[in-house]
Amino acid sequence: LEPVEKAVEGAKIVSIAAGLYLSYIYIRYHKNPKKAISYLEGIVDKKPNKKYLNSKYIECLAMLEEYEAMKPSIFALKKSEVPYYRLCGDTYLGIHAEFFLEDLQQAEKFYLEALKNGESCEGRGEYYRGISNLGLGRILESKGESQLAEDYYRRAISLADDDVKSEAKEGLKRLGK
């Protein structure tokens, strides 16, 4: 990773791409959101209207449980005409409502809206649909709606990456499935 880190520091043209690439590696493969956010903060400041950068920045904040800091960037995604970015925004609003506000009714609304936006994102957005399904599974489990919770956990497993799959499998175990 050292050559890419040097590109972020020294290059003018490729520094944004290199920083985004490094942040993705640190988020997904190294599970190090602190390191990832150190690259993203500078990029987001330079390119505040780049929605993909904002989505990765919000992802880091969520991993760091800095839920309140997510809101300004989330609203930028929500305003997008592109359903993928509205999917991202609603997913993160669901996370914010569930974990920061502890408002499960509001979280459920956002997760369902995310899934609705995700319907038109063929071949894209599986990660966010997986997170939204996982959130709905947790909420329905807390309401005692075991069959629906199981359905959402299973959808999360079929869509998302290892972290989401792992949490969804734990949910299924709690349900005795």
Averages of pLDDT over runs of 10 residues in the chain (177 residues) are 62 69 87 90 74 89 92 88 94 96 98 95 91 98 97 95 91 96
pLDDT of residue 74: 92
pLDDT of residue 49: 65
Tell which residue, 101, 95, 87, 74, has the closest CA to residue 138.
95
Q: What is the pTM of this model?
A: 0.86
pLDDT of residue 76: 85
pLDDT of residue 139: 98
Please tell me the distance from the alpha carbon of residue 174 to that of residue 113, in angstroms, as a whole number.
Answer: 26
pLDDT of residue 60: 92
Tell which residue, 92, 95, 94, has the closest CA to residue 110.
94
pLDDT of residue 131: 96
pLDDT of residue 94: 97
DSSP of 107-148:
HHHHHHHHHHHHTT-TTS-HHHHHHHHHHHHHHHHHTT-HHH
pLDDT of residue 154: 97
pLDDT of residue 11: 54
Among left, alpha and beta (phi > 0; psi -120 to 50; other), residue 144 is left
